[in-house]
Structure 1
Amino acid sequence: MSLVKKARQELGYSLEVAAREIGISAGYLSQIESGKRQISSERALLIANVYNVNLEDIFTATRFGRKEIESLLDTQKTGGD
C-alpha cells in the first residue's frame, strides 16, 4: 500500500471525499496512490496539507522535485511571490 493511500485511510477519507478536498477526480487520486501518475510539487504539497502530514512522509522527491519543493516551501514561509 502506498504511503499516500495509507495517509488518506488513516484520516478515514474515502477516495471520493479526499479527491473532492484536494480538487481532483477520484480516478486521478487513485492513479497517484498507485504510482501511475506523476504530480507537481504544488499538488503533492496540497495533498500533504489536506492529509495533515509532512510532504516527505508520503512522497519521495526526486532531485529536481526536492529543489522545487524547497523553493515552494521557502516562498510560503516568507510570504513572497
Structure 2
Amino acid sequence: MPWDAEAGRLLGKRVRELRDEKDMTQETLAHLAGCTKNHVQVIEAAGRLDMGRPINLRLSTLFGIAEALDVEPWDLIKESASGS
C-alpha cells in the first residue's frame, strides 16, 4: 500500500535536506541504503510537489535510508526543525 501524499511530501523533503547536509549524491545514498538511484529520485520528487504524491516505500527501504543518513526512521517523516 502506498504512503499517502502528505507522508510522501514530508519524507521526500526531509531525505533531500539530510542528503544535502551530508553532501551526499543520490547515487551514494542509494548504494548505502540498498535501493536504486531511481527510487531515491522518486522519493525526493514527492517532496518537491506542492501537494505531494503517494509513494510506494517498503519499511526496509525507509530503514536503509535512515541508516545511510545516520538518523532514526521517524526523523525522516517529521517536519524539519526549521519548519520549512
Which structure's CA Rg is the greater one?
A: 1
TM-score, normalised relative to structure 2: 0.61
Structure 1 gaps of 5+ residues are 61-81
Q: Which runs of 4+ in 1 moved over 6 A?
A: none
Percent identity among equivalent residues? Answer: 20
Say how many residue pairs are matched.
60
TM-score, normalised relative to structure 1: 0.63
Which structure has more relative contact order (CA 8 Å, sep 6+)? It is 2
Separation in 1 of the partners of 2:23 and 2:37? Answer: 15
Q: Which protein is richer in helix relative to its size?
A: 1
Structure 2 gaps of 5+ residues are 1-11, 47-52, 79-84
What is the Cα-based RMSD across aligned positions, in Å? 1.8
